Amino acid sequence: MPTVKIPPVLRSETGGEAEVAAAGASVGEVLRSLVAAHPGTERQLFSGEGELNRYVNVYLNDEDVRVLDGVETSVAESDTVVILPAMAGGA
Amino acid sequence: MATTAEPIDVIKTKIEQLDVAEAQRELGAGAEPVLLDVREPHEFAEAHLEGATLVPPAEIGDRIAELVPDRAQRVVLYCRVGNRSARAAYELQGAGYENVASVAGGIEAWQELGLPVVAPEGMSRDQRMRYSRHTLLPEVGVEGQLKLLNAKVLLVGAGGLGSPSALYLAAAGIGTLGLVDDDDVEESNLQRQVIHSTERVGTPKTESARIAIEGLNPDVDVVEHRMRLDSSNVIELLRDYDVIVDGADNFPTRYLLNDASVRLRKPVVSASILGFEGQISSFMPYEGPCYRCLYPVPPPAELAPSCGAAGVLGVMAGVMGLLQANEVVKLVIGIGEPLIGRLLIYDSLGTRFTELKVRRDPECPICGPDAAEIPESELGKFPDYDAFCAGAPLG
């Protein structure tokens, strides 16, 4: 099953887990599986219209899904989906 | 030929060693010996004794007959501290050279006595000593050190990230370090902001940092910019600098810094930290992506808490700040592979680095092909970043 890397800001919604296994053949399906298992992540990943929020960067392994096929990008069993939020802290 | 596998202290008892004063007398006398520098070319380039011929240790056996055909000729050898030259002297003795000596303490001892050397222009004797561990590196050398000494680096934020990077950039001899910060040192800063000190709580951060830097390296010209970066001052501020280090604590400043640096084509080494995680990338305008290519819009406040609200491991500031300093040094000297088009994430709890690719966004409003050329008169005009980042935290 593909693995989703959970950023620190979402870990309160995954019971502290930094990595979650989530089924799916596409990036969108994998993220929907994550949301099904951890409903608290939905509001932060998806807009009210069900679109992936623009401020959430998603990578398949090391590649931004925006340069692949977005949420339609195919995912293999051994792949890792990385959720990356911007951080501004420097002080 | 004698073996040189014997311990160096044994070898030194079997050869003639000259101390620096003796060597100086002999080299200044009428019947001059052949003087051989048995170090590597980059060490020779940094500084050598007048009249010396460079012969790296590995080449002595092959070249000595050509350099010194007469085995009765007086030969004086030196290296950095006197070990390589002792071995070489022993080797020559074994090859039949009758009158060979090694300078004990080498060129370091020679320079410590303030005796003259042949050195390239641009660095003082003190600087050659101070930066010798840099100039010994072939990738840096005297040329690279001179680039550092002539570089102007602007640190945005003299806090968690700015503290360690400022200290190491100062130690590295960055000629001009500009510091932008409008805060005073607070007690809660000292868990990670190592450039400040307990006794300087209440002092403006730029002043506190200047005191620390001047104590570390008088070569550095510290320029205090005790202000908050905004649309009205960013262009003038950035103009004078070669590389920008983004250690800001809020999104409006990060977007403003990006947009201004793209307009001015200045590289930005950007890092951020929160909790046990850090991110870093280098943005080189038009060569690689910019901050907006990576993050087109800022996240809402709930997805981007500040260190002040959520906490940060103090060591994280050190790790990420020093990765920034490392990038700056590479960019200034022009060596290695900068983090252009790559985002490095550090997870300190797992001690894991993850690298992600960052592409230029063809629709980027700032550096994309449709981003209009901005006339000089419009350079300082920016959108309202606070509105753009509304909902994102300010510190």
Q: Identify whether B141 is part of a domain.
A: no
The answer to whether residues B62 and B158 belong to one domain is no
Q: Are B292 and B255 in contact (CB under 8 A)?
A: yes
Write the pLDDT tens digit of every residue in B256-275.
999 999 999 999 999 999 88
Q: Identify whether B177 is part of a domain.
A: yes
Q: Tokens in use for B139?
A: 């990738």
The answer to whether residues B40 and B112 belong to one domain is yes
Q: Identify whether B1 is part of a domain.
A: no
The answer to whether residues B167 and B231 belong to one domain is yes
The answer to whether residues B166 and B279 belong to one domain is yes
The answer to whether residues B188 and B62 belong to one domain is no
Total domain count, chain B = 2
Which CATH number fits the domain that encloses residue B25?
3.40.250.10
pTM over 0.90: no
* Pairing outcome for strands B75-78 and B34-37: parallel
The answer to whether residues B246 and B317 belong to one domain is yes
Q: Identify whether B305 is part of a domain.
A: yes
Q: Identify whether B324 is part of a domain.
A: yes
**Helices marked H in chain B:** 8-13, 20-28, 41-46, 60-67, 83-94, 106-112, 125-130, 132-135, 141-150, 162-171, 205-216, 234-239, 251-264, 291-294, 307-310, 314-333, 385-388
Q: Identify whether B12 is part of a domain.
A: yes
ipTM of the complex: 0.94
Report the percent of chain B where pLDDT is more than 70.
97
Q: Identify whether B348 is part of a domain.
A: yes
Q: Are B169 and B193 in contact (CB under 8 A)?
A: no
Nearest to A86 among B273, B298, B361 (CB): B298
The answer to whether residues B187 and B325 belong to one domain is yes
Chain B closest-CA separation from residue A76 CA (Å): 18
Answer whether A85 touches B (CB < 8 Å). yes
Q: Identify whether B145 is part of a domain.
A: no
Write the pLDDT tens digit of every residue in B275-286.
899 999 999 999
The answer to whether residues B96 and B162 belong to one domain is no
Nearest residue on chain A to B275, alpha-carbon basis: A8
The answer to whether residues B19 and B164 belong to one domain is no
The answer to whether residues B161 and B30 belong to one domain is no
For residue B391, what pLDDT band results from cuts at 50, 70 and 90?
A: low
SS3 B328: helix
Chain B closest-CA separation from residue A23 CA (Å): 22
Q: Which conformational region is residue B146 in: left (phi greater than 0), alpha (psi within -120 to 50 degrees), or beta?
A: alpha
* Residues of B in Cβ contact (< 8 Å) with A62: 354-357
Chain B closest-CA separation from residue A85 CA (Å): 7
Residue whose tokens read 């014997």: B6
| Boundary-marking domain end, from B71, B97, B119 | B119
Domains in chain A: ranges and CATH: 3-85 (3.10.20.30)
Write the pLDDT tens digit of every residue in B143-176.
999 999 999 999 999 999 999 999 999 999 999 9
| Boundary-marking domain end, from B96, B119, B142 | B119
The answer to whether residues B260 and B315 belong to one domain is yes
For residue B306, what pLDDT band results from cuts at 50, 70 and 90?
A: confident
**Residue B388: CA atoms inside 13 Å, Cβ hemisphere, count?**
17
The answer to whether residues B155 and B114 belong to one domain is no
How high is the mean pLDDT of chain A? 93
Answer whether A86 sits within 8 Å of B251, measured CB to CB.
Answer: yes
Which CATH number fits the domain that encloses residue B372?
3.40.50.720
For residue B58, the enclosing domain spans: 8-119
| Boundary-marking domain end, from B70, B96, B119 | B119
Write the pLDDT tens digit of every residue in B105-149.
999 999 999 898 988 777 888 898 899 999 999 999 989 999 999
